Structure 1
Amino acid sequence: MFAELALIALAIEAAFGFPDVLYRRIGHPVGWIGALIAWCDRAWNRREFSFERRRMLGVGTLLSLLAVSGFSATVIFLLAHHFLAGFATTFVCGAVASTLLAQRSLDAHVLAVADALEQQGIEAGRRAVSMIVGRDTAALDEAGVSRAAIESLAENFSDGVVAPLFWLLVAGLPGIFSYKAINTADSMIGHKSDRYLAFGWASARVDDLVNLPASRLSALWLVLAAAALPGLSPRGAIAVVWRDASRHRSPNAGWPEAAMAGALGLRLAGPRAYDGAMIDDHWIGDGREAASVRDIRLALRQYRVAYAIQFVCVAALAAAMALL
């Protein structure tokens, strides 16, 4: 268990995020992973190959990503231990791990949707939400933009904040590096389209597996946050998670989305368009469809308190382990 490392990573990410100056100079680790995935996609995901061959090459892509990410994390860990000692080693490894947590950036992107809708109108809101969702946004009204932002906040709380932290706690730097490789591969090639049904099969299946514990944890944090905040319903969150979490097309996204939908008294998910095609998904929750900017801001409050609860739990775990 790497509780002290996880706590340092959380604290650094909460305080600084990923500095813009660093991003401009060297890019971001997820971008490096994405470049490797894109190369594998171009080289190995060819239409002239059979379905089975493309599926096996997709497995090879995932294994290559895991080998590269795990090796890189191990090298960083060994170098830190070789050149540094004690707390300095943990601090440097925590700083590296913090680059793979997305709490601040997710908050900023969702807040930008609320600000755009409120200050500049529906067109600006559509542009802002298009930065964080994959669905078609050109025809969304204010309610559609608001629901999309809240759904993205809920889902990305699980796979962008809770899941990488979970694997950092369990397996240290190799754990969080490997998780981000899997999750990035799923986001890039794990689609059920003609091009990626075979090549992205392994990435999609493994991503479902590694996100399973975090999706349940994220729902728990969101329920506890609803209990701590006026105007939100923890009972509603629990009821919708119990009834609707498993109805989502994703085995994991339904959990945090249900916790937010029930707490806010909304209906999330449901029918939506991707690349011009309608996806007739189940609704999550039985509340209002007419979400608004106010709901986005309430969801952000719930998210921030949930993050704080997670932070306190990790701090308590680190303190307990230090006493052992």
Structure 2
Amino acid sequence: MEVVCAVLAGFLLDCLFGDPHWLPHPVCLMGSAYAKGEKLLRRLFPKTHCGAFWGGALLCILVVSLSLGIPLLILWLAGLVSQWLAFALHCLFCYQILAARSLRDESRKVYLPLKQGNLSEARRMLSYIVGRDTGSLNEEQVAKAAVETVAENTSDGVIAPLFFLLLGGAPLGFAYKAVNTADSMIGYKNDRYLYFGRFAARLDDLCNWIPARLSGIFMVLSAFFTGLDGKNALRIYRRDRRNHASPNSAQTESACAGALNIQLAGDASYFGTIVHKPTIGDPIRRAEPEDILRSHRLLYGTSLLCLLVFCGIRSLFILL
């Protein structure tokens, strides 16, 4: 039951405090390790497609292994001193792995200027949480991009971490975050990372395969009890959950689009190049700033539902 209690405490701490900037975050260390490791391994490996692939694969394996092993060692050493110290650290680690409050806060920074009519500031705040170009987006496009980010990261930032936390505690949770960080830093399909980041991108797809589908299902269910359109969420989820180049991203985006009765995805500009994407959902109405707040209801509804179900299943296995 220690893991269940630590995860519950971590989730509560995340809801209360989010991600204060003064608190050092392990993901920043992971990002630094990837950045420095990339420079080193690109020098060591041959300047070929094969060399780039194996250099990127080795970098990912090393950082993920360290992200698993270091917390495991810290918790073991803390347990030698005191089981209460080990439990307190486990709670802190779980808190740092979850990102529901941070996702809500960062997307709200887009909502506030957008609601006040300050489109340029809304675009600027959006640029911190999306990879696409934001300089020419109109109000509806900004709102849609923020909603898409909340929908996709409900899985990556909350549900998938909960899944791995309850499977293997904080060490496995940190290992997942290292995989997710690798994908966000080097898992791009551009000239620089097409081969170097391919292993990281495929590993991220694999790790998120089950959590993404659970996230989509639970998001549909949460739409029914958060005052949104649950029936349409189910319809769009069943129809559009594969409308994305990623095998996982459209799982939650389709459920969210259906619940809000808006259309998400479609063509977008990345580094000055238009990338053609299929749409997700039906344009029953235009997206508006309040849809960002509605996506927060889905975020927390889905998170709470998953937390209760995952903790219940793990507790049941322990009792049996």
Could you state the TM-score of these two structures normalised by the residue count of structure 1? 0.92
Superimposed CA distance per residue, residues 287-317 of structure 1 (whole angstroms, 9 cap, x where no aligned partner): 2472111221211222222222233334544
> How far off is 1:3 after superposition?
2.6
Q: Does 1:278 align with 2:299?
A: no
Superimposed CA distance per residue, residues 54-81 of structure 1 (whole angstroms, 9 cap, x where no aligned partner): 1111111111112211211211220221
3-state SS of the aligned residue for 2:22? helix
Alignment partner, residue 8 of structure 1: 9
> How far off is 1:196 after superposition?
0.5
Native 8 Å contact 2:76 2:86 kept in 1: no
Q: Does 1:174 align with 2:174?
A: no
**What are the ranges of 5 or more consecutive residues in structure 1 without an aligned counterpart?**
none
Alignment partner, residue 78 of structure 1: 76
> How far off is 1:221 after superposition?
2.1
Distance 1:126 1:289, change over 3 A: farther
Native 8 Å contact 1:245 1:255 kept in 2: yes
In 1, Cα distance between equivalents of 2:314 and 2:116: 43
In 2, Cα distance between equivalents of 1:67 and 1:12: 27
Superimposed CA distance per residue, residues 213-260 of structure 1 (whole angstroms, 9 cap, x where no aligned partner): 111121122112210122x21111111111111121111110000000
Native 8 Å contact 1:7 1:314 kept in 2: no
Alignment partner, residue 262 of structure 1: 258
Native 8 Å contact 1:80 1:93 kept in 2: no
Match for 1:60: what amino acid? L
What is the aligned counterpart of 1:253 among 249, 253, 256? 249
Aligned length: 318
Match for 2:254: what amino acid? A
CA RMSD of aligned residues (A): 1.9
> How far off is 1:101 after superposition?
1.0
Match for 2:177: what amino acid? K
3-state SS of the aligned residue for 1:273? strand
3-state SS of the aligned residue for 1:211? helix
Could you state the TM-score of these two structures normalised by the residue count of structure 2? 0.94
Q: Does 1:19 align with 2:20?
A: yes
Alignment partner, residue 37 of structure 1: 34
In 2, Cα distance between equivalents of 1:8 and 1:318: 16
What is the aligned counterpart of 1:108 among 105, 109, 119? 105
> How far off is 1:180 after superposition?
0.8
Native 8 Å contact 1:226 1:302 kept in 2: yes
Native 8 Å contact 2:261 2:285 kept in 1: no
Native 8 Å contact 1:3 1:317 kept in 2: no
> How far off is 1:19 after superposition?
3.2
3-state SS of the aligned residue for 1:135? coil
What is the aligned counterpart of 1:301 among 297, 300, 319? 297
In 2, Cα distance between equivalents of 1:77 and 1:161: 22
In 2, Cα distance between equivalents of 1:111 and 1:17: 13
Alignment partner, residue 206 of structure 2: 209
Alignment partner, residue 119 of structure 1: 116
Alignment partner, residue 59 of structure 2: 61
Distance 1:211 1:19, change over 3 A: same
> How far off is 1:116 after superposition?
1.3
Native 8 Å contact 2:161 2:177 kept in 1: yes
In 2, Cα distance between equivalents of 1:136 and 1:223: 30
Match for 1:194: what amino acid? D
Provide the identity percentage. 36
Native 8 Å contact 1:272 1:278 kept in 2: yes
